[in-house]
């Protein structure tokens, strides 16, 4: 009887493998970083072969570490950095160039041109996305236009496109399966999230031959088997989802109105909107959360550009402390922010302000302000920004929330989470297993192969580490939010343009 679910968590800076038992406990974890390639200012690439090699290595090591074999693994679930684009030769399996990473801005001008040509609404209606170089479409077009002979080969059916999940599936199955799941397809800007197919008009707009596109499969379901040579015997590949969607699943946000926030370098908020897509009027992105059986769940997604990165700035830029965790004790050394607000608009502001010309600001300084007040103001800014995105989501989805699920590195900070609960007036739930992305992928796989009877069955195994209950007078909350919004107002439109 197989005891483990294997999650392959292919991130932007490292490939990781976690073996979970069927109760969601971590039994083995191995990670390996791989090189980031920066050929030019604003360009980011990965060597897709290194991605595959490191991913395979950590998977083999994770088994070895606990003396497990393939027979102990019920299924493989894959979760991955999204949008990153790989094109490879169908016959040799070799990439035709480095993968273009989601962060890469090389096609920004191309995207501006599309917006000028009036494609914003069409793209949003079809894909749920804002036209942006993050998404795969213009990256794929760039590869076809710039790699020698690529377009001709693609038209002859000799090249394949895939996001990282698809590339891993192809390699795991020894080239037998060329497939991606709906949640990853939804990030390409080529997939129609209403009709659930590659959109022929968009393929034409970006000049992409349809024959290079992968088959789109559900997020939970056996799509193929790993080659025998890799792990000693075959293992079903049964779950796939992009990292943020996998985290939403890992947090058991199964129902309309359920939401999670990840406090990492940036912040990623996703809210399940049920079986119909909600198209935002405020610049949030509509995406597919997952497809299980023939049921599709949609989500709204909003991001905060600078979240934990502001704590890194305090540590590395201002050198106020040595470890991010020190921020908690410093902030706790003062009873409140002392009237100080910090707007971390280092790279402009995203939803709901959408001002690329905003810049960071610290307001409310007095002769009595200390470094502790500043640290506290930075932690509070993470919660305020989350509040602003979540308010729009609640309005647009029209769902009443009962709690917010949280994960990511900065959720180690109790002061931050208590303040978040206070500012939202909602309980904040921190799970024991903060590896929610990997857990989500494992659970999608486990569901497909019958390790769990249902999603409710998965939720039964979920353990909470701590619940933060709101404990702030409404008046105080309103006054703090008012201070924050006034501070944001001062930071807008700072850069002259």
Contact stretch for ligand ADP (CB under 6 A) within 238-246, 275-283, 285-293, 321-329: 321-329
CA distances from 12 to 32, 33, 45, 436 (A): 11, 9, 10, 16
Residue count, binding to ligand ADP (CB under 6 A) = 15
Note whether 50 binds ligand ADP by CB under 6 A. no
Q: Least Å distance between CB 447 and ligand ADP?
A: 25
Q: Least Å distance between CB 260 and ligand ADP?
A: 13
Q: Least Å distance between CB 416 and ligand ADP?
A: 6
**3-state DSSP assignment of residue 427:** coil
The residue of the chain with the least Cβ separation from ligand ADP equals 409
- Measured from the CB atom, the residue of 73 and 433 that comes closer to ligand ADP is 433
**CA 307 to chain CA centroid, nearest Å:** 14
CA dist 14 and 151 (Å) reads 31
Contact stretch for ligand ADP (CB under 6 A) within 148-156, 169-177, 305-313, 356-364: 305-313
Note whether 364 binds ligand ADP by CB under 6 A. no
Note whether 264 binds ligand ADP by CB under 6 A. yes
- Measured from the CB atom, the residue of 339 and 409 that comes closer to ligand ADP is 409
- Measured from the CB atom, the residue of 138 and 303 that comes closer to ligand ADP is 303
Note whether 325 binds ligand ADP by CB under 6 A. yes
CB atoms within 10 A of CB 116: 9
DSSP single-letter state for residue 72: G
Among 51, 309, 320, 439, the residue binding ligand ADP under the rule CB under 6 A is 309
Phi and psi at 102, nearest 5°, equal: -50, -35
Contact stretch for ligand ADP (CB under 6 A) within 100-108, 168-176, 237-245, 323-331: 323-331
Cβ partners under 8 Å of residue 164, min gap 6 = 10, 51, 80, 81, 82, 84, 86, 99
**CA 53 to chain CA centroid, nearest Å:** 22
- Please give the full DSSP string across 12-70, using - where no structure is assigned: SSEEEEEEEETTS-EEEEEEEE---B-SSTT--EE-HHHHHHHHHHHHHHHHHHTT--G
Among 218, 224, 408, 431, the residue binding ligand ADP under the rule CB under 6 A is 408
- Measured from the CB atom, the residue of 286 and 437 that comes closer to ligand ADP is 437
Note whether 127 binds ligand ADP by CB under 6 A. no
N-term to C-term CA, the chain:
64
**3-state DSSP assignment of residue 73:** strand
DSSP single-letter state for residue 141: H
> Nearest CA to 279 among 127, 119, 82?
127
Note whether 14 binds ligand ADP by CB under 6 A. no
DSSP single-letter state for residue 214: P
Among 144, 410, 439, 487, the residue binding ligand ADP under the rule CB under 6 A is 410
Q: Is the peptide bond before 352 cis (omega within 30 degrees of 0)?
A: yes
Note whether 95 binds ligand ADP by CB under 6 A. no
Strands 73-80 and 236-242, bridge-based pairing: parallel
- Measured from the CB atom, the residue of 125 and 265 that comes closer to ligand ADP is 265
Note whether 311 binds ligand ADP by CB under 6 A. yes
- Measured from the CB atom, the residue of 284 and 330 that comes closer to ligand ADP is 330
Note whether 413 binds ligand ADP by CB under 6 A. yes
CA dist 344 and 134 (Å) reads 22
Cβ partners under 8 Å of residue 8, min gap 6 = 15, 16, 17, 55, 59, 76, 77, 78, 79, 168, 441
Q: Least Å distance between CB 84 and ligand ADP?
A: 15
Note whether 339 binds ligand ADP by CB under 6 A. no
- Measured from the CB atom, the residue of 293 and 317 that comes closer to ligand ADP is 317
Note whether 162 binds ligand ADP by CB under 6 A. no
Among 37, 177, 324, 347, the residue binding ligand ADP under the rule CB under 6 A is 324
Contact stretch for ligand ADP (CB under 6 A) within 237-245, 308-316, 386-394, 422-430: 308-316
In this structure, are residues 46 and 11 in contact, taking their beta carbons and an 8 Å threshold?
no
CA dist 7 and 71 (Å) reads 15
Among 236, 308, 348, 350, the residue binding ligand ADP under the rule CB under 6 A is 308
Q: Least Å distance between CB 383 and ligand ADP?
A: 11
Note whether 312 binds ligand ADP by CB under 6 A. yes
Q: Least Å distance between CB 307 and ligand ADP?
A: 7
Q: Which two tokens stand for residue 379?
A: 């932690």
Contact stretch for ligand ADP (CB under 6 A) within 21-29, 195-203, 223-231, 407-415: 407-415
- Measured from the CB atom, the residue of 29 and 235 that comes closer to ligand ADP is 29
> Nearest CA to 239 among 439, 445, 446?
445
Note whether 412 binds ligand ADP by CB under 6 A. yes
Instruction: Give me the residues that bind ligand ADP (CB under 6 A), please.
Output: 264-265, 308-309, 311-312, 324-325, 327-328, 408-410, 412-413
């Amino acid at each position: 009887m197989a005891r483990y679910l294997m999650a392959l968590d292919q991130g932007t800076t490292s490939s990781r493998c976690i073996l979970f038992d069927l109760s969601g406990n971590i039994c083995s974890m191995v990670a390996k970083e791989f090189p980031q390639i920066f050929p030019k200012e604003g360009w980011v690439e990965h060597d897709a072969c290194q991605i595959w090699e490191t991913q395979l290595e950590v998977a083999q090591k994770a088994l070895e570490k606990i003396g497990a074999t393939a027979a102990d693994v019920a299924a493989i679930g894959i979760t991955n950095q999204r949008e990153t684009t790989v094109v490879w030769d169908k016959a040799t399996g070799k990439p035709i160039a480095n993968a273009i990473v989601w962060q890469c801005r090389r096609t920004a001008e191309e995207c501006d041109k599309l917006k000028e040509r009036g494609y914003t609404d069409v793209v949003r209606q079809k894909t749920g996305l804002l036209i942006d170089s993050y998404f795969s479409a213009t990256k794929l077009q760039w590869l076809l236009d710039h790699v020698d002979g690529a377009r001709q080969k693609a038209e002859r059916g000799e090249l394949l496109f895939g996001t990282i999940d698809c590339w891993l599936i192809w390699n795991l199955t020894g080239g037998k399966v060329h497939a991606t799941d709906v949640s990853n397809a939804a990030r390409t800007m080529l997939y129609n999230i209403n009709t659930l197919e590659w959109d022929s008009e968009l393929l034409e707009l970006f000049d992409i031959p349809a024959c290079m596109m992968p088959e789109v499969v559900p997020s939970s379901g056996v799509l193929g088997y790993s080659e025998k040579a890799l792990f000693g015997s075959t293992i079903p590949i049964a779950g796939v989802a992009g990292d943020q969607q996998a985290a939403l699943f890992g947090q058991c946000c199964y129902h309309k109105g359920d939401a999670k926030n990840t406090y990492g370098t940036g912040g990623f908020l996703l809210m399940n909107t049920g079986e119909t897509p909600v198209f935002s009027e405020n610049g949030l992105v509509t995406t597919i959360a997952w497809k299980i059986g023939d049921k599709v769940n949609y989500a709204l997604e909003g991001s905060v550009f600078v979240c934990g990165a502001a704590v890194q700035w305090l540590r590395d830029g201002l050198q106020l402390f040595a470890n991010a965790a020190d921020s908690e004790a410093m902030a706790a050394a003062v009873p409140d922010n002392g009237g100080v607000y910090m707007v971390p608009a280092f790279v402009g502001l995203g939803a709901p302000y959408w001002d690329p010309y905003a810049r960071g600001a610290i307001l409310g300084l007095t002769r009595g302000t200390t470094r502790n007040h500043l640290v506290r103001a930075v932690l509070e800014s993470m919660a305020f920004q989350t509040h602003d995105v979540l308010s729009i989501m609640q309005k647009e989805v029209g769902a009443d929330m009962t709690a917010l699920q949280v994960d990511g590195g900065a959720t180690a900070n109790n002061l931050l989470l208590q303040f978040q609960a206070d500012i939202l007036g909602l309980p904040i739930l921190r799970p024991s297993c903060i590896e929610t992305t990997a857990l989500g992928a494992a659970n999608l796989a486990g569901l497909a192969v019958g390790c769990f009877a249902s999603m409710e069955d998965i939720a039964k195994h979920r353990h909470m580490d701590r619940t933060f209950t709101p404990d702030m007078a409404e008046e105080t909350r309103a006054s703090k939010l008012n201070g924050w919004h006034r501070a944001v107002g001062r930071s807008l439109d700072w850069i002259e343009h």
